[in-house]
Amino acid sequence: MSVERLQYTIAGDAPGHSVALNGFRIGPENATRKVFLQGALHADEQPGILVLSHLLPMLEAADARGELSTSFVLFPMVNPVGMGGIGFGQHQGRYDLASGVNFNRDWPDLFAAIETDIDGRLGEDADANVAEIRAAIHRWLDGRPPGNLRDNLRLTVMREAVDADYVFDLHCDNEALVHIFSAPHCNAVMESLSDWLGGSAILTANDSGGGSFDEVWPLPYLRAAEKYPELPIPVPVAACTIELRGRFDVFDDVAKTDARNLFGFFQGQGLVGGERPPEPARGVRPTPLNATEILRVDRPGLLAYQVQTGDQVRKGDVVAELLQLDGPEAFTRRLPVTAGTDGLVLSRNARKYVWPGCSVAKIVGTEPLASRTGKLLED
């Protein structure tokens, strides 16, 4: 089939106001597997837009050669609401300006939505159970009444993603190395994906506590399996957030390489035919998300980093010095900001002026930290 353009007009919250969501569907109509990819859910994180713009013609050419056995749905810029979040000459994009809600937090709890509906419908057939849960999610989505602009956008996107076998949400960090957030059930898939992308970490949790988009899709099956341990309920979706370095790493050559590597990964998964490139070298293995320290400051100041991303640190090492900006020791005193665990410096703050609660770095360790409970993601 040729590329199908997906065009949705989503009503806004004010008279005469709407947004357009544009995407693409590629692959055979009778495909039994589906891949869903989106970029810029945090609209100020834009490397994914460029990556998917390069992946699109690769998939189109593969389809023309008859090499696609899978349906691919791409939304390179999935958040037109956030793309309009410009004020005082600055693009915000991470938060819905109408509600203050982070665009990648508080997505619906689908198990809570369908728990009553599937009660008594599941049985001894694993495939039938997956189909029943997906059908229940479809029914819930189709029954939702119109809401505000943000909710209507979310429902539109969810209806396209609900039956996907792979859900990849392309983001970026502040200033960082490539890394992946995912759930432990799909570690093998994520290890391969990380190898292809040259990732530096795979951070895993079944539920990070934030209601992020990638966690929406496996959780109904994981929670159903917990409720019905006597029944076979597999998790049919490999979902993740891919952090494509930092927010300023929007470079055409880098994005083209990332797209080629994604394409190679899809070939390795048997989703795309054609001549397969050699497998990449094995890289990092998954670690629990609660073993990654999010290092924060408790006062305002100007950061002077003493480490680079990719450095290994030990607990107690100075990651940055915080130049004091007020009081009798202003501009003369530096306070050390020290690592709370051994591990890899995965990310730093691109903005060097910080205030209480700001994150300074992510340090990827291997041992869960007592301080890392509840909501594990940055807001």
What does the pLDDT profile of the chain (379 residues) look like in tens digits? 678 999 999 998 999 999 999 999 999 999 999 999 999 999 999 999 999 999 999 999 999 999 999 999 999 999 999 999 999 999 999 999 999 999 999 999 999 999 999 999 999 999 999 999 999 999 999 999 989 999 999 999 999 999 999 999 999 999 999 999 999 999 999 999 999 999 999 999 999 999 999 999 999 999 999 999 999 999 999 999 999 999 999 999 999 999 999 999 999 999 999 998 899 999 999 999 999 999 999 999 999 999 999 999 999 999 999 999 999 999 999 999 999 999 999 999 999 999 999 999 999 999 999 999 999 999 8
The span from the CA of 320 to the CA of 337, in Å, is 5
Q: Specify if 374 maps to a domain.
A: no
* Same structural domain, 126 and 206: yes
156 and 253 together in one domain: yes
Asked whether residue 114 falls in the same domain as residue 205, the answer is yes
Q: How far is CA 271 from CA 69, 208, 267, in A?
A: 6, 29, 6
DSSP at 164:
-
Same domain for 91 and 168, yes or no, is yes
CB-count burial class (<10 Å; 0-12, 13-18, 19+) for 308: exposed
In terms of residue numbers, what domain contains 329?
289-364
Same domain, 261 and 302: no
The count of structural domains within the chain is 2
Judging by beta carbons within 10 Å of its beta carbon (0-12, 13-18, 19+), is residue 14 exposed, middle or buried? exposed
The answer to whether residue 379 sits within a structural domain is no
* 378 lies in some domain: no
Show Cβ contacts of residue 21 under 8 Å, excluding neighbours closer than 6 positions: 6, 7, 8, 9, 10, 75, 78, 80, 153, 156, 157
**Nearby residues of 174 by Cβ (< 8 Å), 6 or more positions away:** 246, 247, 347, 348, 349, 350, 351, 359
Q: What is the CATH classification number for the domain harbouring 139?
A: 3.40.630.10
Residue 370 lies in a domain: no
Q: Does the predicted model carry a pTM greater than 0.95?
A: yes
| Domain presence at residue 131 | yes
Indicate whether 71 and 167 sit together in one domain.
yes
Look at residue 371 and tell me if it is in a domain: no
